[in-house]
Amino acid sequence: NAGVTQTPKFRVLKTGQSMTLLCAQDMNHEYMYWYRQDPGMGLRLIHYSVGEGTTAKGEVPDGYNVSRLKKQNFLLGLESAAPSQTSVYFCASSYEHLSSTNTEAFFGQGTRLTVV
Amino acid sequence: SQQGEEDPQALSIQEGENATMNCSYKTSINNLQWYRQNSGRGLVHLILIRSNEREKHSGRLRVTLDTSKKSSSLLITASRAADTASYFCATDPTAGGTSYGKLTFGQGTILTVHP
């Protein structure tokens, strides 16, 4: 089982460049999430999706865009990268709504992004 | 602002000892989850406790939840060197009984277990 796969694993960008992070899950999960993890800040939710064709803003959405054209994929885009977006990005998915009492989130291995 | 706050930020113990980590949160929740993260890896789900439960066990893990104090604790008994990791609590904040559908994480506790 592949679970949740993120590509790429590492990337260095110059300020102002754009890129797309891809998240793919093979568990037929409805819900998908993008988080960023910074030292001392825990994980912060950027955007999430409750199903194919839907997206919603999380805690820190500015500077990012997302798309969920296919159920299994959730793309995170940076249109004009800034040094403040240097972080480790994690994608997660879940079968049910995370407020359900019997669900858990499955995480990818992360993408380490550095913006110089 | 972070919904969950873990305490302590770091914990260092000897193999065989018990490790206790605490989590406090701010708003009403439907459930609380604990996750583990090994260095450089993604998070892995450990255990979920519902808002109407007070205690739950899973192997060497024991989780308690006190909704009146908005706090939870994770106890790892008979710790092993392999338990060395960061541990995060996560909650789904609700307002007026309605969940936002988001899982909000605390800053984590770094646990080091010395052989």
A109 touches chain B (CB under 8 A): yes
Closest to A21 measured CA to CA, from A82, A79, A60: A79
CA–CA separation, A60 vs B56, rounded Å?
33
Whether residue B13 contacts residue B101, with contact meaning beta carbons closer than 8 Å, is answered with no
Examine the pLDDT at A65 and tell me if it is beyond 50. yes
CA–CA separation, B76 vs A13, rounded Å?
41
Closest to A93 measured CA to CA, from A109, A76, A101, A105: A105
Residue of A nearest to B33 (CA): A104
The mean of the pLDDT values for chain B is 89
The reply to whether residue B43 touches residue A43, judged by beta carbons under 8 angstroms, is yes
Q: What is the mean pLDDT of residues A80-109?
A: 86
Structure tokens at A109: 């291995």
A89 touches chain B (CB under 8 A): no
Question: Which of A42, A50, A108 faces B101 most closely, judged by CB atoms?
Answer: A50
Examine the pLDDT at A38 and tell me if it is beyond 90. yes
Structure tokens at A59: 């805690």
